[in-house]
Amino acid sequence: MQFKNLLKVSLLALFCFFMVPAMAQNKTITGKVTDSKDGSPLIGASISAKGSTAGAITDINGAFKLTVPASTTTLVVSYIGYVSKDVLVTSDVVNVTLDANNNALNEVLVVGYGTVRKKDATGAVVKVNSADFVQGVTTDPLQQLQGKAAGVVVATTNGDPNGGLTVRIRGTVSLTGGNDPLYVIDGVEGADPRALSPNDVESFDILKDASSAAIYGSRAAGGVIMITTKQGKAGKAQVSFNTYVASESYEHLMDFANASQYLSMFQSFYGHPMATFNPASPSTTSNQGANTNWYKALLRTGLTHNENLSVAGGTDKSHYRASVTYTDQQGIALASERKDLNARFNFDQKTLDDKLLITMNLQATHTNANYTDGNAFSDAAFVPSVISEYDPLNPGHYQYINNTDETNPVPHLTDITNTGAINKMSGNLRLDYTLAKGLVISPFANGSLGNASYNLYLPPSNLLSAVNDQLNYTLNQTTVPGELLTDGDVDKSSTADYSVTYGIYANYKTTFGKSRLNLLGGYEGNQFNNTGLRVAAHNFNDITNYPNENIGAANLVTNKDINSYDNGFTLQSYFGRAEYNFNDKYYITGNVRYDYSNKLGLNNQSEVFPSVDAAWVVSNEDFLKQTTWLTSLKIRGGWGKVGDQSAISPYASQFLFGSTGNLYYDGATGTWLTSNFSTQNQNNDLKWETVTTVDLGVDFSLFQGRLTGNVDYYSKTTNNLLFDYTVPTGGQYFVGTILANVGTMTNKGFEFSLNGAIAKSKDFSWNLGANVSINRNKIVSLSGALNNTQFNVTQSQVGSTGGLGISGAVSQIGYLKVGYPIGTLLLPEYAGQDGSGKQLFYYNKNGSRQTTSNIGDLNMADDGTGDRRFYTTDPKFTYGISNNFTYKHFDLVIFLRGQYGSKGFNQNDMNFTSLQKLGTYAVLASAAKDHITSSSEPSSYFLESTSFLKVQNATLGYTFKLSENKYIDKLHIYVAGNNLYTFTSYKGIDAELTTAGGQTGIDQAIAYPRTRELSFGVNLTLK
């Protein structure tokens, strides 16, 4: 018994002898892993003891608990998307902060129906992150792309808050289509970016070449812009509030002669003073003793304010983000304004053991708009400064001006009611279910709904002339007195549109050996519909106090006053993609899409759009692995074909029969009836325009990513160009024109982008980015055949000057010409002035080159035999330069953009330079120096350089350090200026002319001036 007890004690002692040292060799470490930038917990971060197999993963709060050998001195902490860190163990509590991995090569690009790492991309895709966005007044998300990406040109047509943007990716691809890219917001194709708050945007991914955009087939000819909105992160709820207030003023106005200059020029030119105003015989062609700046009479200092509130958060299973934004932008023109209320909700949830991911997005926008009458700005340019805004015989009342075609411009902004109310809603739902390892199946559905109502009201007044409404309808001057002396006019319209997209796709990813394979295939269906109704009425007895209440009380409604439409079409598609990568060195990607649409001709309702591209990561080859300064070098190339359906409206291929707008007398009933006849020819061969692109590029990263960039060459060919051709009537054609696929056009160019960290230290950093784009557009052919009808066309006149007193062939200056780019102008060649100040022009007389002051002496033929010359207006290159500085808590951004080598026809200079205009119209202050005594005629004299450099944005900000504050996580304040200054020799209002339609290269911008904005803003994030 004693032996057994002794044995037990001995065994216990032996156990303790071995266990105590073992226990003493382990220790427990606790801590937390967070984001170094915002302090948010990193859920699922990996922590391991260096030299040991011990490891742990952080929980929902970013916390971990890890038992490690007592000898452990270093922990290895890693997290996807962050830079791994070795942390010394100095105590039992180790808190770690990780830096986001800013290596551009690991950046994720959003492509059609998926994503790809930048280093794995084979197409020409460029990303613009929210970190690259400028601060200040931004009411349209697309403004953030201005000058940021090579090959992407974003231009505003004017400063109207209700105006839009034009976006061109690698040039113009269609003569009749919209040329706009396809916008895809969180997977919703064809979404409206203007309905999205700029505060909700996380990034833009621009698919520039056909090889990357072919997955979208017939909708991608203008390129594709993928817009990704901000999502919630795992962790506690994060509340953010962003706001700014801004003042807006005009950037530049044309310099018209003031009263002193005007009277001096009048005296010098006519040899006698201008007649003074006589109350007994009032005239608006006399000197009224005024000094009116008519442009400034229409303008004010605009005030804009924006408020954005968002709440975001989530767990390791779900994420959410909700935001609401309100913007009130008061334009600088009297009465112009736009108010937007925007709300968005993003949500995703994992379920079924993480096999199913549910993603949902909802978006709603309400807009109230006050529109301006663009004719007011034309009148402001026409009326001389010596004419008073107010009636000299009735002070306090606007003056009725009747000396020329123009009227007093101010009442056109103050007295006319022109409003719109616009509502837009959209949503999408996607289910990603992991069916097997590497195989995910994704059914989805998207929908959008919009409606709008517009009201135009002209009160009884002798100050107003007819204006165009939102549907470009002009009041009939023969049945409705233009001055609206006693009766008012009303024009009301409403529109509604909806679209539904549904489909399913499957994605399979696998690896074998050194190979990675990614396969995608799916189906998508689209239904589009839009309707509209418009009613106008005239000659109300008295609607001064009831401007839009009872249209039935009108005394006159014509057959042109009522209009309605109901259009729709479908688009059915199958698509697929295969991506193969061997050893992270050799990549090949193929895309294909089959599209069928019922809005095309019966013979061409479907098309296949394929693409293929490949890449070679040269830097991963053994012979370059020891090159320490070269981080990455990739050579890529691709070919693809995409289509353009924007140029074809529903029913454009069908024979249409409808009202001609004319009346005929029915003798049987003794009444006038509306006549009906064919309004459109049938074209069963109508099909999509197709754009084929070849792209070759090089991407590089040097010095551990401190210097990155790319170079691209592309060649785009648009075949089956759509254009309206003249056809003979009486045989197979009932109408004199037909929309047909005939021509060919090319765009070729180079793109260069470079980004570098010029300086980087603890307190100071400087990052510089620059891009240059060169694009050469050329019309190759406008000829072809349809139904045995030959179209032998070498050029077509599409644009004119519309100048004062200018008409006939000399005014027809805008041309589409084979061998030349869009924006080609045909102008008389300026030869100087004679001794009396008359303009001279070169012309051919009896085989010799001579000059004449009579424009009628010129041969105006446009076939190359005449005396006019063709001039091109497109720029040699466009560019953007961004500078980002930080010093301690200060940040400074300076962003520049511009173009070089472009030209533009300054119609405004032509209209207001001739001294012959004195006494009737306004003239520019420079007219005295120019001393043109003859009428101003279109010529190369008014073709000016439109090269410019814009200081697009400058922002100075300060971030407060609030680590000890219990409630505020981040507080950033800033002052910003947008469109601060333009360096240019151009004498017009703005050197950035329109790039749309036949008026390309012609400055007709007697319109809403572009604005300069100065703002103060606050970005606040709560803990």
106: confidence class by pLDDT, cuts 50, 70, 90: low
Other CB atoms within 10 A of residue 177 CB: 20
Pairing of strands 489-512, 814-817: unpaired
What's residue 16's pLDDT?
43
Confidence of residue 732 (pLDDT cuts 50, 70, 90): confident
**Single-letter residue type at 992:** E
DSSP state of 811: G
Average pLDDT over residues 398-406: 75
Residue type, 442: S
Do 34 and 77 form a contact (C-beta atoms < 8 A)? no
Radius of gyration over every alpha carbon of the chain, rounded to an integer in angstroms: 34
Whether 422 and 369 have beta carbons less than 8 Å apart is answered as yes
Helix (H, G, I), strand (E, B) or coil at 330: strand
As a three-state string, the secondary structure of 56-86 is: EECCCCCEEEEEEECCCCEEEEECCCECCEE
| pLDDT (mean) for 250-277 | 94
How far apart CA 431 and CA 441 sit, in angstroms, is: 8
In degrees and rounded to multiples of 5, residue 823 shows phi and psi of 95, 20
Can you say how many angstroms the Cα of residue 123 is from the centroid of all Cα atoms in its chain? 22
Q: Does residue 279 contact residue 393 with C-beta atoms inside 8 Å?
A: yes
Q: Could you tell me which of 141, 142, 315, 322 has the C-alpha nearest to residue 239?
A: 322
pLDDT digits (tens, 9 = 90+) for 964-983: 788 898 999 999 999 999 99
Q: What is the pLDDT of residues 440-449, one digit of tens each?
A: 999 999 999 9
Would you state the pLDDT for residue 22? 43
Task: Please tell me which of 119-128, 478-487, 552-561 the model is most confident about, judged by mean pLDDT.
Answer: 119-128
**CA–CA distance, 647 with 722 (Å, rounded to integer):** 7
In terms of pLDDT, which residue wins out, 406 or 63?
63
662 confidence band (pLDDT: 50, 70, 90): low
Task: Tell me how long the chain is.
Answer: 1023
Through-space distance between the first and last CA atoms of the chain, rounded to whole angstroms:
69
Angle CA 574–580–582, to nearest 5: 180
Place of tokens 């991506």: 579
Say if residues 991 and 948 touch (Cβ distance below 8 Å). yes
Q: What percent of the chain has pLDDT over 70?
A: 91
- Render 138-185 in DSSP notation, one character per residue: -SSGGGGGTTTSTTEEEEES-S-TT--EEEEESS---SSS--PPEEEE
Which residues lie below 8 Å from residue 766, measured CB to CB, with a gap of 6+? 757, 758, 759, 760, 883, 884, 885
Residue given tokens 């691709």 in the structure block: 638
For the chain, domain boundaries: 23-100, 416-470+477-567
Nearest by Cα to 190 from 451, 365, 426:
426
Local confidence band at 898 (pLDDT 50, 70, 90 cut-offs): very high
CA proximity to 406, closest of 384, 429, 428: 384
Task: Using DSSP bridges, classify how beta strands 1002-1003 and 903-906 pair: parallel, antiparallel or unpaired.
Answer: parallel
* pLDDT of 562: 82
What is 23-100's CATH number, 2.60.40.1120, 1.10.1500.10, 2.120.10.30, 3.40.50.620? 2.60.40.1120
Helices (H) and strands (E) counted in the chain, each on its own, are 8, 52
Number of neighbouring beta carbons within 10 Å of residue 992: 25
pLDDT given at position 547: 53
Position 849 scores a pLDDT of 93
Instruction: Name the 3-class secondary structure at 680.
Output: strand
How far apart CA 625 and CA 508 sit, in angstroms, is 32
Q: At residue 472, does pLDDT exceed 60?
A: no
Higher-confidence position of 918 and 117: 918
Residue 13's pLDDT is what?
42
CA distance 473 to 539: 17
**pLDDT band at 664, cuts 50/70/90?**
low
**Res 997 pLDDT > 70:** no
Band of pLDDT at residue 368, cut at 50, 70 and 90: very high
Question: Does residue 896 contact residue 881 with C-beta atoms inside 8 Å?
Answer: yes
pLDDT tens digit string along 473-502?
444 433 333 434 556 778 889 999 999 999
| Nearest alpha-carbon partner for 331 in 1008, 978, 954, 982 | 1008
* pLDDT in the model for residue 163: 87
CA distances from 644 to 737, 826, 838 (A): 21, 29, 49
Q: In angstroms, rounded to a whole number, what is the distance separating the alpha carbons of residues 819 and 826?
A: 14
| pLDDT value for 474 | 45
Phi, psi of 946, rounded to the nearest 5 degrees: -110, 25
In contact, 629 and 612? CB cutoff 8 Å: no
Mean pLDDT across 355-368: 96
Buried b (16+ CB within 10 A) or exposed e, 197-236: bbbbbebbbbbbbbbbbbbbbbbbbbbbbbbbbbbbbbbe
User: Whole-number mean pLDDT of the chain?
Assistant: 87
Separation CA 679–CA 699 (nearest Å)? 53
For residue 5, pLDDT over 60 is answered with no
Q: Are 812 and 800 in contact (CB under 8 A)?
A: yes
pLDDT, one tens digit per residue, over 70-79 is: 888 888 888 7
Residue 911 has pLDDT above 50, yes or no: yes
Cβ atoms of 716 and 124 closer than 8 Å: no
Alpha-carbon 437 to chain mean position: 41
User: Model pTM?
Assistant: 0.85
Q: Closest by alpha carbon to 306, among 978, 979, 980?
A: 978
Q: pLDDT, tens digit, for every residue of 805-861?
A: 788 888 899 999 999 999 999 999 999 999 999 999 999 998 899 999 999 999 999
| Beta-ladder partners of 116 | 109
Sorting pLDDT into bands at 50, 70 and 90, what band is 11?
Answer: very low
Phi, psi of 411 (to 5 degrees): -60, -25
Distance CA 760, CA 315 (A): 35
User: In which residue are the tokens 């688009």 written?
Assistant: 571
Q: How far apart are CA 548 and CA 455, in angstroms?
A: 7
List the one residue out of 650, 630, 788, 647 whose CA is nearest residue 699.
Answer: 630
Q: What is the pLDDT of residue 9?
A: 44
Residue type, 826: L
Which is nearest to 559 in space by CA: 543, 541, 538, 540? 538
The rounded distance, in Å, linking the Cα atoms of 434 and 506 is 10
| Residue in 518, 589, 583 with CA at minimum distance from that of residue 123 | 589
E strands present in 908-988:
943-945, 948-960, 968-983
Asked whether the beta carbons of 32 and 95 are under 8 A apart, the reply is: yes
The 10s digit of each residue's pLDDT in 320-342 is 999 999 999 999 999 999 999 99
Residue owning tokens 């989805």: 444
Instruction: Inform me whether the pLDDT recorded for 15 exceeds 50.
Output: no
pLDDT score for 466: 47
d(CA 384, CA 18): 107
Question: What DSSP line would sit under 990-1017, residue for residue?
Answer: -S----SGGGTTEE---SSPPEEEEEEE
Neighbouring residues of 143: CB distance < 8 A, sequence distance ≥ 6: 154, 156, 165, 198
Q: Is 613 exposed, middle or buried (0-12, 13-18, 19+ CB in 10 A)?
A: buried
* 864 C-beta neighbours (distance < 10 Å), count: 11
Q: What is the DSSP letter of 237?
A: E
What's the pLDDT at 38?
A: 60
